């Protein structure tokens, strides 16, 4: 059915940077849309990818002393890795250096050229290489710098092909009128309309001052402007100009998700290009707001462009995804802070959802023999209300997901969660059990479990891993593929007698100690401290040549040379004893190769007995300054890791290896 297909895209990201929290935000939102629509039975296509051409990329490659082809290949990998780590379920990944893309870009060019809407002229004016965009005087900041924060603007003069955008102003305004959902949110649409109402100038769409791009058909001196090239990805990926079947199935796209910074390209240039090329514009361009980090603008120069991978390691991908979409209203500016993230984890995820699942399964294991009870018993109005609520919540949350209103979708889902928690409090199944009313207890617990099943399926688009864990704890086997998850629409699908495994906390709470450790590790607090210290130092030493440039490079990083100074080797534990009065420390005798033995005191006593340790291979820091602990000289350190609950676990070589082997 034509209406049952769904096509969502993200911007294709410039490869000169690694993915950061901002790019992750857009991509996670697109992933949630894709996952929801798949589960609701839509034939879904989710496209993301990379923008690999243009002067900005060519310059970045040059700075790295690499041919651009090699540079873009190298820089593509972190995107692929990070999207995998964040469970991004894209169906296609387009890179603008691919042949399929080049064909479509040149074909679109030819179509528009044949129509007479591309002509050769000369471009003279202001250009920002950071944005790869032209500006007029009035667009710039007061100091004449880039309005998007890229700094200096260049004056350029060169022959260029132009797209006759001016001709499309009225067509665009008519199109906007006829398509009230073309740009969301509405305030952004208003901005677009007033920009177009002021009249449009033709735009320059080719360059002659560099070569890294797609050639202009019939004029090898020019390469096609990177935005003309990049925007075409949305149709090149689905075979426009080549395979009409896929193109016709998915086009027009349901959503182009973008940040508000690139709205003009998507809501003015792109539909005009498409109309000129004889193609229908997309249905909706959804421009979300800008994310700040602890209320500061995210930027490389401020060193606060948080790495989503680090956030995932500390908080988990699901919690991060939940937080970003629940805390911020999509479409408007938002903020990231550790404090609010931890708050959401502890209250919404651990207290509300995790606790509901845990208490429900625990009650079932205690009072209904560890299986899903039957739903037969006597019913009160409470159960009827709960069922209606669950069905209505699924409908409302589905509609909100469909509209990309993620925070609202999650809000209504959490209302159901609160209702279920209240239902347990009010019905008090533990008391009913004392009255030996088995069927009634069964009825109550069945409703709690089935309510949890609804919740598990409704959180799946945002938290795919936790959703599966929830289903397992409810005794269900989730579908082998996430893509086969289904949206709940019928009450009562949980089958009686299904056995329930022992519950595990879905989201462990994050306490004060762990929270400050995380902040330290991720570096934002240390970033702030360093930054203010270095500002202070710079202020105090302004003009002092000794301090010129200092503080800038003193980040929380060490360089390779510093790292290489650490002599890390494999060792084998020969003997182990517990020193008198020691609770935590163990005295280890370790063979560190070449006939050397060392005595090292290690804080492992709470996790390991001496017998467990003797004969184990470990990693030793051999050149640590000796120190005296409990009257014994310790000559080095054994590597271990500490988990969230404070357990110290040894780091060991993956295979048997001779003592004294160097750790690289
Ligand atoms: N290559 C162009 C897009 C071409 S699409 C045909 C581009 N790339 S980009 O790498 O600069 O990515 C821009 C997008 O990243 C923004 O539109 C937005 O989706 C996301 N974000 C980058 N920084 C962001 C924030 N601070 N906050 C939220 N999103 C941000 O422009």
Q: Which of 22-36, 136-150, 279-293, 383-397 has the lowest mean pLDDT?
A: 136-150
Whose Cα sits closest to atom 8 in ligand 1? 13
Whose Cα sits closest to atom 16 in ligand 1? 259
pLDDT the model gives residue 129: 81
Residue 572 pairs in a beta bridge with: 591, 617
pLDDT the model gives residue 541: 36
Helical segments of 316-463, H only: 317-327, 338-344, 355-367, 381-402, 406-427, 429-434, 438-459
Whether residue 26 has its Cβ less than 6 Å from ligand 1: yes
Whether pLDDT at 188 is above 90: yes
Interval 155-169: pLDDT, tens: 888 899 999 999 999
Whether pLDDT at 544 is above 70: no
Would you call 554 helix, strand, or coil by DSSP?
A: coil
Q: Which atom of ligand 1 is nearest to the CA of 11?
A: 5
pLDDT the model gives residue 430: 94
pLDDT the model gives residue 135: 85
Q: Please report which confidence band the pLDDT of residue 561 belongs to, taking 50, 70 and 90 as the band edges.
A: confident
Cα separation values, 68 from 35, 58, 155, 213, Å = 35, 6, 25, 10
**Mean of the per-residue pLDDT values for the chain?**
90
Whether residue 94 has its Cβ less than 6 Å from ligand 1: no
pLDDT the model gives residue 530: 36
Average pLDDT over residues 214-240: 97
Whether residue 231 has its Cβ less than 6 Å from ligand 1: yes
Q: Which of 124-138, 194-208, 330-344 has the lowest mean pLDDT?
A: 124-138
Whether pLDDT at 633 is above 60: yes
> CA 399, CA 651: separation in Å to the nearest integer?
48
Q: Please report which confidence band the pLDDT of residue 554 belongs to, taking 50, 70 and 90 as the band edges.
A: very low
- Provide, rounded to the nearest whole percent, the portion of the chain with pLDDT above 90: 73
For a mutational test of ligand 1's pocket, the pick from 83, 224, 261, 302, i.e. the residue with the most ligand atoms closer than 8 A to its C-beta, is: 261
Q: Please report which confidence band the pLDDT of residue 551 belongs to, taking 50, 70 and 90 as the band edges.
A: very low
Record the pTM: 0.79
Contact 111, 277 (CB under 8 A): yes
Whose Cα sits closest to atom 21 in ligand 1? 22
**Of 332, 237, 326, 346, whose CA–CA distance to 292 is shortest?**
332
**Of 80, 87, 95, 94, whose CA–CA distance to 28 is shortest?**
87
Residue 2 burial (10 A CB sphere; 0-12, 13-18, 19+):
exposed
- In terms of average pLDDT, the best of 122-136, 141-155, 340-354 is 340-354
Q: Which atom of ligand 1 is nearest to the CA of 290?
A: 27
Interval 318-355: pLDDT, tens: 999 999 999 999 999 999 999 999 999 999 999 999 99
Cα separation values, 556 from 271, 303, 520, 534, 536, Å = 46, 11, 10, 13, 17
Q: How far is the CA of 48 from the centre of ligand 1 (A)?
A: 12
Contact 151, 130 (CB under 8 A): yes
pLDDT the model gives residue 644: 61
Q: How far is the CA of 426 from the centre of ligand 1 (A)?
A: 48
Interval 481-514: pLDDT, tens: 888 999 999 999 999 999 999 999 999 999 888 8
Q: Please report which confidence band the pLDDT of residue 306 belongs to, taking 50, 70 and 90 as the band edges.
A: confident
Q: How far is the CA of 122 from the centre of ligand 1 (A)?
A: 29
Interval 88-120: pLDDT, tens: 999 999 999 999 999 999 999 999 999 999 999
Contact 63, 17 (CB under 8 A): no
> CA 514, CA 647: separation in Å to the nearest integer?
12
- Name the phi and psi angles at 165, rounded to 5: -65, -35
Contact 454, 483 (CB under 8 A): no
Whether residue 226 has its Cβ less than 6 Å from ligand 1: no
> CA 79, CA 76: separation in Å to the nearest integer?
6
Whether residue 12 has its Cβ less than 6 Å from ligand 1: yes
Q: Please report which confidence band the pLDDT of residue 518 belongs to, taking 50, 70 and 90 as the band edges.
A: confident
Whether residue 14 has its Cβ less than 6 Å from ligand 1: yes
Whether residue 57 has its Cβ less than 6 Å from ligand 1: no
Whose Cα sits closest to atom 22 in ligand 1? 22
- Provide, rounded to the nearest whole percent, the portion of the chain with pLDDT above 70: 93
Q: How far is the CA of 485 from the centre of ligand 1 (A)?
A: 30
Q: How far is the CA of 617 from the centre of ligand 1 (A)?
A: 47
Whether residue 51 has its Cβ less than 6 Å from ligand 1: yes
Whether residue 22 has its Cβ less than 6 Å from ligand 1: yes
> CA 482, CA 362: separation in Å to the nearest integer?
27
Greater confidence (591 vs 149) lies with 591
> CA 646, CA 664: separation in Å to the nearest integer?
27
Q: Which of 352-356, 470-474, 650-654 has the lowest mean pLDDT?
A: 650-654
Interval 439-464: pLDDT, tens: 999 999 999 999 999 999 999 999 99
Interval 232-279: pLDDT, tens: 999 999 999 888 899 999 999 999 999 999 999 999 999 999 999 999
- 206-207, strands of its sheet edge to edge: 206-207, 219-224, 215-216
Q: How far is the CA of 189 from the centre of ligand 1 (A)?
A: 19
- In terms of average pLDDT, the best of 25-39, 543-557, 570-584 is 25-39
**Of 18, 29, 17, 87, whose CA–CA distance to 288 is shortest?**
29
pLDDT the model gives residue 258: 98
For a mutational test of ligand 1's pocket, the pick from 13, 75, 132, 235, i.e. the residue with the most ligand atoms closer than 8 A to its C-beta, is: 13
Whether pLDDT at 308 is above 90: yes
Q: How far is the CA of 290 from the centre of ligand 1 (A)?
A: 10
pLDDT the model gives residue 538: 37
pLDDT the model gives residue 555: 40
Whether pLDDT at 576 is above 90: yes
Q: Which atom of ligand 1 is nearest to the CA of 266?
A: 6
Whether pLDDT at 533 is above 50: no
pLDDT the model gives residue 629: 84
Q: How far is the CA of 292 from the centre of ligand 1 (A)?
A: 13
Q: How far is the CA of 133 from the centre of ligand 1 (A)?
A: 14
Torsion angle of C-alpha atoms 539, 543, 547, 551, degrees rounded to 10: 40
Cα separation values, 509 from 34, 350, 592, Å = 30, 6, 40
Contact 57, 229 (CB under 8 A): no
Whether residue 262 has its Cβ less than 6 Å from ligand 1: yes
Q: Which atom of ligand 1 is nearest to the CA of 13?
A: 10
Q: Which of 282-286, 420-424, 451-455, 638-642 has the lowest mean pLDDT?
A: 638-642
Residue 568 pairs in a beta bridge with: 621
Average pLDDT over residues 576-582: 87
Q: Please report which confidence band the pLDDT of residue 552 belongs to, taking 50, 70 and 90 as the band edges.
A: very low
Whether residue 259 has its Cβ less than 6 Å from ligand 1: yes
Whether residue 133 has its Cβ less than 6 Å from ligand 1: no
């Amino acid at each position: 059915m034509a209406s049952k297909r769904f096509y969502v895209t993200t911007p294709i990201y410039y490869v000169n940077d690694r993915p950061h929290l901002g790019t992750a935000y857009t991509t996670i939102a697109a992933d949630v849309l894709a996952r929801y629509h798949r589960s609701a039975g839509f034939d879904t296509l989710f496209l993301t990818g990379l923008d690999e051409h243009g002067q900005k990329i060519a310059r970045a490659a040059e700075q790295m002393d690499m041919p651009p082809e090699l540079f873009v290949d190298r820089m593509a990998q972190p995107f692929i890795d990070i999207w995998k780590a964040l469970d991004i379920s894209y169906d296609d990944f387009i890179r603008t250096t691919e042949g399929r893309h080049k064909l479509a870009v040149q074909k679109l060019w030819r179509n528009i050229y044949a129509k007479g809407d591309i002509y050769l002229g000369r471009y003279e004016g202001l250009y920002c290489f950071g944005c790869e965009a032209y500006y007029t005087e009035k667009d710039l900041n007061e100091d004449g710098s880039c309005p998007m924060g890229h700094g200096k603007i260049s004056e350029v003069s060169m022959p260029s092909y132009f797209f006759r955008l001016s001709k499309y102003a009225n067509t665009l305004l008519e199109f906007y009128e006829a398509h009230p959902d073309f740009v969301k949110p509405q305030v952004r649409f208003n901005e677009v309309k007033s920009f177009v109402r002021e009249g449009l100038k033709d735009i320059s769409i080719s360059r002659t001052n560099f070569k890294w791009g797609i050639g202009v058909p019939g004029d090898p001196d020019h390469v096609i402007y990177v935005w003309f090239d990049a925007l075409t990805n949305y149709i090149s990926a689905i075979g426009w100009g080549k395979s009409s079947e896929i193109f016709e199935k998915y086009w027009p796209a349901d959503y182009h998700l973008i940040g508000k910074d690139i709205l003009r390209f998507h809501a003015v240039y792109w539909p005009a290009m498409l109309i000129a090329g004889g193609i229908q514009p997309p249905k909706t361009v959804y421009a979300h707001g800008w994310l700040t980090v602890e209320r500061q603008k995210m930027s490389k120069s401020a060193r606060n462009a948080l790495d989503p991978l680090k956030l995932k390691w500390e908080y988990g991908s699901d919690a991060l995804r939940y937080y970003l979409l629940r805390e911020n209203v999509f479409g408007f500016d938002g903020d990231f802070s550790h404090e609010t993230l931890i708050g959401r984890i502890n209250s919404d995820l651990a207290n509300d959802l995790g606790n509901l699942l845990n208490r429900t399964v625990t009650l079932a294991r205690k009072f209904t023999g560890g299986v899903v009870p039957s739903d037969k018993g006597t019913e009160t109005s409470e159960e009827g209300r709960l069922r209606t609520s669950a069905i209505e919540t699924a409908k409302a949350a589905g509609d909100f997901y469909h509209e990309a209103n993620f925070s609202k979708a999650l809000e209504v889902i959490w209302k159901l969660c609160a209702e279920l928690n209240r239902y347990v409090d009010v019905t008090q199944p533990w008391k009913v059990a004392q009255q030996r009313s088995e069927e009634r207890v069964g009825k109550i617990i069945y409703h709690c479990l089935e309510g949890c099943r609804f919740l598990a399926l409704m959180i799946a688009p945002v938290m795919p891993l936790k959703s599966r864990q929830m289903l397992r704890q409810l005794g269900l086997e989730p579908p082998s593929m996430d893509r086969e998850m289904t949206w709940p629409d019928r009450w009562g699908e949980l089958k009686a007698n299904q056995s329930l495994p022992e519950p595990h906390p879905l989201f462990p709470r994050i306490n004060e100690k762990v929270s400050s450790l995380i902040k330290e590790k991720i570096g934002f607090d240390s970033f702030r401290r360093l930054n203010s210290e270095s500002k202070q130092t710079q202020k105090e030493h302004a003009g002092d040549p000794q301090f010129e440039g200092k503080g800038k490079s003193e980040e929380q990083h060490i360089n390779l040379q510093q790292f290489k100074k650490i002599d890390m080797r494999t060792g084998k534990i020969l003997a182990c004893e517990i020193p008198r009065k020691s609770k935590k420390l163990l005295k280890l005798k370790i063979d560190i190769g070449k006939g050397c033995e060392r005595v090292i005191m290690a804080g492992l006593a709470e996790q390991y007995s001496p017998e467990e340790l003797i004969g184990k291979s470990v990693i030793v820091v051999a050149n640590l300054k000796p120190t005296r602990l409990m009257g014994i000289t310790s000559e080095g350190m054994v590597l271990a890791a500490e988990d969230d609950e404070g357990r110290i676990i040894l780091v060991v070589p993956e295979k048997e290896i001779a003592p004294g082997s160097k750790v690289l």
